[in-house]
Structure 1
Amino acid sequence: MPIRLHIFVNSTRHVISSSVFVCRFIAFHLSQFLLHLSYFLAIDLLGFLALVLLKPRNPGYRPRYVDMFFMSTSAVTVTGLATIKMEDLSSSQIVVLTLLMLLGSEMFLSLLGLVLESRKPKTHDQDGNRVRSITVCDESNLEEANAAVAPSTDLNDQRKSCLRCLGLVVLAYMAMILVLGSLLVFLYVAHDPSARDVLKRKSIDIALFSVSVTVSSFTNGGLLPTNESMAVFAANRGLLLLLTGQILAGSTLFPVFLRLVICAMRGLARAFTRRGSEELEFTVKNAMAAGFTHLLPGLQTAFLAATVVVVAAAAATFLCCLNWDSAVLGGLTAGQKITNALFMAVNVRQAGENSVDCSLVAPAVLVLFIAMMCIPASATFFSVHDDGGGGERSGAERKGGTKKRRLSLNSMLWSPLACNAAVTMLVCVTERRSLSSDPLNFSTFNMIFEVISAYGNVGLSTGYSCSRLLRPEEASVCHDQPYSFSGWWSDQGKLVLVLVMLCGRLKGFRRQQLRSGSKPTP
């Protein structure tokens, strides 16, 4: 017996060490694009297996594999499109979708990136006169910025210290928003009779709903335990405003809130320990040089905040002007209409939690929504640029005194417009029968709206209505379903959208590669 136990322990230790070696090799030797692609595919497949193995809440419901794979991809890419009724899923399946949204969120990936960058092995450059990490950051800027602060400190140690500090700040930020947000949502629902009755009628646990909706809002996932998303809570102004703040904190205003959190922590550290204050000051000044692009300079952060406020206010005003007396905002008070308009204006950028029926919104507003889906979260009206540029490539150009020019067609061929146009044509081919037999639901505009929503990882959908069927005999046997328009597509069309959601989630890395022009040299 002891011999068998010894063999088992040695075998387990060998498997664990081999797994750790493989993970370290993948993390430190693959490119950023391949690393993230591998991560998303692995999490997607694990989530798909978990959703298939777990039993749904409705005993008579048998989900199809393609729908479960679609839901897993939608969650891990934080898109929010659904092809099934969310209320048919069990609590354990809702938990799986919630974890997938958290693991696939930009915030969590930023935290993982900080951890991996701070643990990268050292290597010697060709001159052999200093040690540095294999990274894409602008080390010349970091060296110049910190020469007066720590001239005798190794550059790699400075950078790793900066990344570790940023990792702790981002972790504290995530924990604070998720815990405090879940608690506030729970308290609101528990003390608001109308919101509590909705969950009671749908047999949804309040605690599960609070955690799931907070994670979905903060990660911009868009998948909620209710079939109608937030439309069933359109009259609950307080809940919508709470989720609006969480959505902004996890997407467009993340750099703004992160800078505010660091300033608050720096003030507390200055009151208790001088060293902690100096480390935070060092982190703020050198975050961009260390490769963390979410912590923008002060002026650029102000431009970003102004852009988000102006765009959201303009979209909310436009929606109110064209839909004030329509069925979209029917039955709501003036304050509730304004709150819903603001909630939709914020959601259309990233989150996709709709509180109104998008199929009833005025076409002009839908066109505005399409344009807002294509706007990157970091877009600003104004930007600040250094005259000398940045990065290793820019540093080499400054030293050599010459700039290299090269011609590339990749930026045109891989532009969002070209990708969305090609995918729209493809899904029009896969859904050609529905386009001819059901032209009101399967209109070209609805197809474009769904594709762009998937590519932008937003999750808004025009839905499907049986009342728009042209043949009365088909309308009599049709039943409206509270899920996305893509839920009515063929299996081929759904698989195309799976690829679109993955491409949309990874489009940021493609833009970085196009801007850099080539791989950075170690």
Structure 2
Amino acid sequence: MVHSLLVVLKKLRTFCTYLATKLFSFTKSARQSMKYSLQFICQNNPLFVQVIYFTSISFAGYAALKVLKQRDKSDILSDLDLLFTSVSASTVSSMATAEMEDFSSTQLWLLTILMLVGGEVFISMLGLYLTRSQFGNSVYVDIESINSTKSGPNSTQGTKVTVPLSELHLEGKNHVEPKTIESLSYALLVYFLVTNLGSSLVIYLYLILVPDAQGVLERKGIGSVIFSVFTAISSVGNCGFIPVNENMVIFQKNTILLLIIIPQILAGNTLFAPCLRLMVWSLKKITGKEEYHFILKHPEAIGYKHLMSGRECVYLILTVFSFIITQTILFCSLEWSSEALQEMSSYQKIVGALFQSANARHAGESIVDLSSLSSVILVLYTIMMYLPGYTSFLPKDDEHHSKSGMKDKRRRLLENWIFSQLSYLAIFVMLICITEREAMTTDPLNFNVFSILFEVVSAYGNVGFSVGYSCKRLRNHDVHCKDASYGFVGKWSGKGKVILIIVMIFGRLKAFNMKGGRAWKLR
């Protein structure tokens, strides 16, 4: 009896060992399959990855905002407004359907996190870590850019291939090592920390040294720490949210604060590439590492879109400052004696004009009520909001164009059916005109086509400028109408708000549609 029991136990142990071995083998295989599947998706479908990413953090932000208590418990925000705010923060759009002072300090911290993880610097850094570090030493390399320096009948052009970094050769002698990617990741992390923490510290020191500015926050019940961190991350991320209802209008005479924020805005978007190159150059001087020298010499080999050559950075800087100077001159010429600036000195007006011009591209902070500005300035802002962050005048050689490779056939076929960005904007404007057609009939001064177009372009450009809504423009006076500090979209119907949510996400992903509409010929 005992012998039989021992035999059974021995067989049972053998079976369990076999089962555990098979289960471990299956688990290991499943992990490898998931890893390679995730690698394939990240490298071949970045659009899908970013759609999932922004959708996930937006809904997570909505759920957290729903759970956290508001500052004003008597005016509970609707679920749609909470979702709209979460999407606006995560896509760094700063379109608003609620007043910022309705949110509690805890909710403001949550919005700060959403702006931080939705900013371009963080997204690009996360993408670099995922595609370069997490999946080993093989990366996608844009052979087209590398082959621009090569020629030959057997060269592969216009394709993306996966090759080990240690085997990627440039000009027969240089190659990209894994530690080069690690060095770039380190430079990005340093840049990310310096811009956000440094900006927060500078704003906080300003508030301590300027009692008037701190007094404004004390009257509103907003702490200096949350204001400094929130404003800095919003400015660097080019979101445009400020934790006070009046945005930066309340600080329009604090010229030093405005001058502090301007470089933060530029470093987070339009001048991110030149500033990153400067960071890499600084680290090369400090550490003496050869990897940073290689990154500066062969930025195209890394495959990171925010790495540019010195020539491209110079043209980008010249273009950005040309836009700012042009806008500043026009703003001062047309608005110098306007009601919006009448209480400001000449110096304050010039600094304010510079601040407005720097924000018109993507940041969205404002020192004036935009509805009080002239139509010329509003049209100019509409154009500036539409332009991508890295728009620049960059003469290119015909030889370079002739060597550009052929696109994959399936990708070319897909691109033939993609509309241009202007076409999508027109579609969105028409859809919103349909959803708001009743308001356009009863309240035509507020709900006019240009105001809707301005709002859509602002959302698509992830800027946040808005002409707002005014009870004074009502055709029939309404005693129940109340002016609010949030944007024009706050007065739209639920369907219109949903469409603008789609516009904000679509605009955040517009980099994937830059070549849309090229197959459409207008003759």
Secondary structure class of the residue paired with 1:133: strand
Secondary structure class of the residue paired with 2:300: coil
Instruction: Give the Cα–Cα distance (whole angstroms) in 1 for the partners of residues 30 and 471 of structure 2.
Output: 55
* Residue of structure 2 in register with 1:199 after alignment: 217
Instruction: Give the Cα–Cα distance (whole angstroms) in 1 for the partners of residues 138 and 38 of structure 2.
Output: 20
* Residue of structure 2 in register with 1:43 after alignment: 57
Q: 1:153, CA displacement in angstroms?
A: 4.7
* Residue of structure 2 in register with 1:133 after alignment: 139
Instruction: Give the Cα–Cα distance (whole angstroms) in 2 for the partners of residues 331 and 363 of structure 1.
Output: 22
Instruction: Give the Cα–Cα distance (whole angstroms) in 1 for the partners of residues 371 and 434 of structure 2.
Output: 23
1:335-354 map, 5 Å:
335-354=347-366
Secondary structure class of the residue paired with 2:302: coil
Quickly say closer, same or farther: Cα 1:431–1:298, change in 2 above 3 A. Answer: same
Match of 1:484 among 477, 484, 487: 487
Query: Is contact 2:340–2:372 with CA below 8 Å preserved after alignment?
Result: yes
* Alpha-carbon displacement from aligned partner over 1:200-239 (angstroms, at most 9, x marks no partner): 1110010000000000000001111111111111010011
Quickly say closer, same or farther: Cα 1:168–1:29, change in 2 above 3 A. Answer: same
Quickly say closer, same or farther: Cα 1:420–1:19, change in 2 above 3 A. Answer: farther
Match of 2:267 among 215, 229, 249: 249
Root mean square deviation, CA, Å: 3.1
Instruction: Give the Cα–Cα distance (whole angstroms) in 2 for the partners of residues 438 and 85 of structure 1.
Output: 22
Secondary structure class of the residue paired with 2:325: helix
Letter in 1 for 2:347: G
Quickly say closer, same or farther: Cα 1:47–1:305, change in 2 above 3 A. Answer: same
Q: TM-score, normalised by structure 1?
A: 0.84
Instruction: Give the Cα–Cα distance (whole angstroms) in 1 for the partners of residues 299 and 412 of structure 2.
Output: 32
1:438-449 map, 5 Å:
438-449=443-454
Letter in 2 for 1:133: V
Aligned: 1:287 with 2:287: no
* Alpha-carbon displacement from aligned partner over 1:47-103 (angstroms, at most 9, x marks no partner): 110111111011212110000010011011110111001101011111111111111
* Alpha-carbon displacement from aligned partner over 1:253-285 (angstroms, at most 9, x marks no partner): 111111222222212223xxxxx1x11101112
Q: 1:443, CA displacement in angstroms?
A: 1.2
Instruction: Give the Cα–Cα distance (whole angstroms) in 2 for the partners of residues 411 and 327 of structure 1.
Output: 49
Q: 1:40, CA displacement in angstroms?
A: 0.8
For the pair shown, which has the larger CA radius of gyration, 1 or 2?
Answer: 2
Letter in 1 for 2:454: F
Aligned: 1:415 with 2:420: yes
Range with greater deviation from structure 2 (258-267 or 221-230): 258-267
Instruction: Give the Cα–Cα distance (whole angstroms) in 2 for the partners of residues 18 and 486 of structure 1.
Output: 47
Instruction: Give the Cα–Cα distance (whole angstroms) in 1 for the partners of residues 514 and 372 of structure 2.
Output: 35
Instruction: Give the Cα–Cα distance (whole angstroms) in 1 for the partners of residues 130 and 417 of structure 2.
Output: 32
Instruction: Give the Cα–Cα distance (whole angstroms) in 2 for the partners of residues 159 and 138 of structure 1.
Output: 20
Match of 1:365 among 353, 377, 380: 377
Query: Is contact 1:82–1:484 with CA below 8 Å preserved after alignment?
Result: yes
Unaligned residue ranges in structure 1 (runs of 5+)? 1-13, 123-130, 146-151, 271-275, 398-402, 517-522
Query: Is contact 2:273–2:308 with CA below 8 Å preserved after alignment?
Result: yes
Aligned: 1:501 with 2:501: no
Instruction: Give the Cα–Cα distance (whole angstroms) in 1 for the partners of residues 38 and 104 of structure 2.
Output: 35
Aligned: 1:97 with 2:100: no
Instruction: Give the Cα–Cα distance (whole angstroms) in 1 for the partners of residues 426 and 518 of structure 2.
Output: 23
Aligned: 1:88 with 2:102: yes
Query: Is contact 2:435–2:493 with CA below 8 Å preserved after alignment?
Result: yes
Instruction: Give the Cα–Cα distance (whole angstroms) in 1 for the partners of residues 358 and 394 of structure 2.
Output: 20
* Residue of structure 2 in register with 1:375 after alignment: 387
Letter in 2 for 1:66: L
Match of 2:81 among 67, 85, 91: 67
Match of 2:341 among 329, 332, 355: 329
